[in-house]
Copies of this chain bind each other. A is one copy, B any other.
Amino acid sequence: MTIVPDFGLRASCELCRGVACESHAEIHAGSFRRRLATNDVLVRQGDTAEAIYIVVAGQLRATQTTADGQQVIVRYLGPGELVGPLALAGEAAHSDTVTAVNDTHLIGWSSAEMRAIIGRHPAIAFNALAALGRRYRESQTRVQELSTEKVDRRLAHTVLRLAAQSGRRTARGIEIPFPLSRQDLAELAGTTLHTVSRTLSAWETSGIVDSGRRRVIVTDEPRLLAIAGGD
């Protein structure tokens, strides 16, 4: 296995920020690599949390399934992001299922290894705290949206969030760089695929988005922002 230090170190920013450079190699030494093809499952809801990962390249989708079988997408995870931060918070089991939506590379540490590393580099604990704080805020924002906004607005926020987190600027607009179906958007925005389809169709007609089979491009961000802000 070839080690690509630059790649790995840049990706591990979310955890290693503020740690002396000479320690990076040591932190890296305790890690392992993992590669997933599209639709491969990294961890499954309910599994014991035995490792923590950082996405190096690719994207994953974290989903929760309810007792009666309904799915909710917790979030998409891209390069540099932490998978399973709750393991550091002392949670025994994974709260969601994480699936690759693209070819994906990750670096991982066993929970024990990471605990040992944190013992030597307390700054990492703060970085984990900050990462978890960001997730908490995001989740709280979603609660607020689901509680107070109508579907169009929520969907606009959802698409804009995806665009901000993972979007790629192209000639046609901001493209979501992984397959994203109407059903996926529905599970993110708390609605049905039918409503998503109707809403996207309307936006398409107005030239706000350009979308197709599992594909979304934001062509008029300002107008989408206007919808998100309440028309």
Contacts and interface: CB of A to CB of B under 8 A. Distances in A.
Interface of A: 64, 66-68, 70, 72, 74, 85-86, 88-91, 95, 119, 122, 125-126, 128-130, 132-137, 139-140, 142-144, 146-148, 187, 190, 229-230
B147 A187 contact: yes
Given A122-B122, A130-B89, A137 B95 contact: yes
Contact of A90 (B88, B133, B190): B133
Contacts of A95: 137, 140
A67 B86 CA distance: 31
A49 B89 CA distance: 22
Please give me the 8 A-B residue pairs with the lowest Cβ-Cβ distance, nearest first.
Answer: A89-B133, A147-B190, A146-B146, A139-B139, A125-B125, A136-B136, A70-B148, A89-B129
Given A91-B137, A95-B137, A143-B146, 8 more contacts: A67-B230, A72-B144, A86-B136, A89-B132, A119-B122, A132-B133, A143-B190, A147-B187
Given A139-B143, A140-B74, A67 B133 contact: no
A143 B142 contact: yes
A89 to B, nearest CB: 3
A91 B132 CA distance: 11
A126 B91 CA distance: 12
Contact of A125 (B68, B129, B137, B230): B129
A19 to B, nearest CB: 15
